[in-house]
Structure 1
Amino acid sequence: MPSMLDAVVVGAGPNGLTAAVELARRGFSVAVFEARGSVGGGARTEELTLPGFRHDPCSAAHPLGINSPAFRAMPLERYGLAWLQPELPMAHPLLDGRAAAVLARSVAETAASFGPRDAGAYRRLVEPFLPHWDTLLRDFMSLPLTALPRDPVLLARFGLVGLPPSTWLMRRFRDDPARALFSGLVAHVIAPLGGLATGGVGMVFALAAHARGWPLARGGSQSISDALAAYLTDLGGIIHTTTRSSGSTTCRPPARTSSTPRPPRSPGSPDSGAITTTSGTAPPPSRSTTRSTGPCRGPRPRRAPRAPSRSVRAAARSVPRCGPRPARAGRRTRRS
């Protein structure tokens, strides 16, 4: 490892690995430190029930992964990542045994599953934005806005729909199937459904399904992290697992001797990347009990705990009591 790194990333989840790859692609030296024994974080796959049954304990479907401009610029397929598209992105079985509401690639099929009273409302909600999905996506992925949006009028129109709470948006629907499925979309934000901009979360996931689907990674979500890690090491990045960081300090980096980033190191060179497993704790930087006003600031306060959530994992050949339509879906949600 170089004696002086340009960047250190704590956490080898998909976000940390993506940040490290983006830096390494631009010629910066990067090291990633991960407390667990393997990379993955929220995109990992484990055997949690029976041998041979692989489960994604966190993220499973990746509508924004396949849509990500960063992922689309990386040759992750060369490192084993393959996307699988289920016939239906999502289904929501209803507790009374009625046919499930489905989120299909087709707007028409999705609307039809809601019944005649809500089909038109759903089409009027998503169809104006679907042809402009790529433009909206680029603005979403650049938040907080660092430049003017590509289509300010379009973004303003979307804001009128997406900024209010999802509970307001669901007033457009009269029956349970549409409300239940839209609640399942919004629940991905892990926040109260009445929160500000939660309606936009549901809209983004619905539009993503209609535009490019909700794909699964072949072999589980771990395949995404493994592909990112392999690409990073080829770019010269270094990954340390089983290494816990005990503190953090935000500092201004030292001035570079040249305004031109270093060229990427070739695989096999002394500074080329590798995944190493080490035991112990990464030495913490110097810390102060009060926040200073100089170039280095003290540790940030801990995040507030997230809203509680539940998941059920089972080894099964099929999902029971769901009917034929949910069996075609890559993801099923259910309210209790």
Structure 2
Amino acid sequence: MADAVVVGAGPNGLVAANVLADAGWDVEVLEAQPEPGGAVRSDRGVHPDFVSDRCSAFYPLGVASPAMRALELERHGLRWRRAPAVLAHPLPDGRCAVLEHDRDATAEALDGFGAGDGEAWLRLCRLWDDIGEDVLRALLSPFPPVRATVPLAVRARRAGGLRVLRSLLAPVRTFGEQEFAGPGGPLLLAGSALHTDMFPETTAGSVFGWLLAMVGQTYGWPVPEGGAGELTAALVRRLESRGGRVRCGVPVASVVVRGGRALGVRTASGEAVRAVKGVVADVSAPVLYGGLVDWADLPSTLRADLRRFEWDHATFKVDWALSGPIPWASPGARRAGTVHLSPGMDAMTRYSADLATGRVPAEPFALLGQMTTADPTRSPAGTESVWAYTHVPHRVKGDAGPDGITGRWDEHDRAAMATRLEDTVERLAPGFRALILDRRVTAPPDFQDHNASLPNGALNGGTALLHQQLVFRPVPGLGRAETPVAGLYLASASAHPGGGVHGACGANAARAALAHASPAGRLLTPTLHALTRFLAP
């Protein structure tokens, strides 16, 4: 028995557990996998001398998010490391857009792409100075973000009001063409937007691209020293220091519901674990609704709504152990922790069109991480631990390239797609292949084997497009952590505000549980449920 049972020891589950433990609750976390972390784990599975991150690797939102900052994980052994440069986007002609740690250095380099582009970048930085932290706070707060909205509205009006809002809601291609003369600045923004599933022509892509780029300009895109798993280890140590418990290898089979209220969970082995005050679920919405919670305990409309739940794109990833640093033709790429690979904006649009039509992109946009460049502890001196991933359709209708990739992800598909990624790197870094000591291929079906919340490698817990954000996440309703079952809270990236290792989904769920357990919560619970039924009858 515990005050709260948290299902899933991913970052959101562990953040939720820490917030509840800070409030004096007795918390037990149950994790199906043999180790905690979810998508925030590392291993030596590629080469025994190399640390490789299984999924996520760089954590700009981890250092910028108020929820994560409040935990002060540095006091529990976490050490952040940063590459000499934040981000690079090399081009076939040898030029390279580089996001430096110093904004003036970024601006100076961008002037080489187009006259006045440095000043355009500094304008975006000043806009961040004016409203950036308020935007971040509003995006990561429970919806509606009442407390964060008022100061944001005041500062946004001073910064330009509706004109600024119009610009940030524009597709990133449009925004880039309006603000910059050359391709450097737009590529930094568009590549950052593609970290979600915001394509160059997607409405509101600019705000996501600007947000990630400015967080990088302000905080960098750091990595945990020793591997992604060290972030998880710090979260676990902090929780245990406050009396919380994490039990791994304990899959939860169901949430026990009586009279419309969650009373606890039942594990796959049949063990009943009582939750006196609440159950917090760090699992995807499709796993929770109709899975852990029977449809008989849920509103009939939810089943129809969930059939319209849309995942973000599937992922294909390769990890490499290299005998030396990648020999980029563009020197700027050698200093960056993260490198975006695409010949340009038009190529990003073709890649987006291939995904939209169910075809494996012929020329994939890839994100590449130079982990030893960011953290020298990841591999022996003079070597490099590297990964790259790209997106592919969940249901492959065809291959836009020449290899006949079918989407079965058999040995042929895996080898062909890995070669396609390696070709992408080789074109920009001749000699790359000669450095490969070992590699590991993670095809879409493999992601779910080590994290049930990542079907086919859908990294964001569901699409980040506007039709599934705010009051529409994960289904039409309040966009909050509360669920139709009293005492049950959704803490995964399927809940608002969505994907990214920022801990906000977990923190929001924990605060909702605390609020509903308070004396005022006796009024809050029925009021929210009534409002949900009104908004989504």
Give the TM-score band, short-chain normalised: 0.7 to 0.9
Counterpart check, 1:123 vs 2:122 = yes
Q: Deviations along 1:201-249, whole A, 9 cap, x unmatched?
A: 1111111122222111101111111100111112121212122233457
Structure 1, unmatched stretches of 5+, are 255-277
SS in 2 for 1:46: strand
Residue aligned with 2:6, SS: strand
Residue from 161, 164, 172 that aligns with 2:170: 164
Letter in 1 for 2:298: R
1:182 to 189, 213, 217: 189
1:279 positional shift: 8.1
Over 3 Å counting, the alpha-carbon distance change for 1:47 and 1:130 in structure 2 is same
Cα offset for 1:58? 1.9
Tell me the CA shift for residue 175 of structure 1. 3.0
Residues 1-336 of structure 1 aligned to structure 2 (within 5 Å): 3=1, 5-94=2-91, 96-114=92-110, 115-117=113-115, 118-130=117-129, 132-144=131-143, 145-147=145-147, 148-155=149-156, 157=161, 159-172=165-178, 173-248=180-255, 252=261, 280=269, 287-289=294-296, 291-292=298-299, 301=306, 303-316=309-322, 317-335=324-342, 336=363
C-alpha change, 1:69 and 1:170, in structure 2 (3 Å) is: same
What is the CA-CA distance between 1:61 and the residue it aligns to?
Answer: 1.4
Q: Distance in 1 between matches of 2:142 and 2:197?
A: 19
- Structure 1 residue 252, shift from structure 2 partner: 4.1
Shift of 1:322: 4.3
CA distance in 2, matches of 1:47, 1:224: 16
TM-score normalised by L of structure 2:
0.52
1:8-67 deviation line (CA, Å, top 9, x unaligned): 222211111101101110011222121211111121112232112111232211111111
Q: Distance in 1 between matches of 2:170 and 2:42?
A: 35
Aligned residue type for 1:71: M
1:130–1:211 CA contact under 8 A, matched in 2: no
The structure with the greater share of residues assigned to helix is 2
Q: Distance in 1 between matches of 2:334 and 2:37?
A: 28
- Aligned-partner SS, 1:7: strand
Percent identity, aligned pairs only, is 29
When normalised by structure 1's length, the TM-score is 0.80
CA gap of 1:209–1:312, structure 2 versus 1, over 3 A, is same
Cα deviation for residue 333 of structure 1 reads 1.4
Q: CA deviation at 1:285?
A: 6.5
Structure with bigger RCO (C-alpha 8 Å, 6+ apart): 1
- Mapped contact 1:166–1:202 kept (Cα < 8 A): yes
Whichever residue aligns with residue 106 of structure 1, its letter is D
Contact 1:244 1:282 (C-alpha < 8 Å) held by counterparts: no
- Kept in 2, the 8 Å contact 1:326–1:332? The answer is yes
Q: Deviations over 1:84-126 (max 9, x none)?
A: 12221111111x1413111112222223333233333323333
Q: Secondary structure at the match of 1:49?
A: strand
Unaligned runs of 5+ in 2: 273-290, 343-362, 364-537
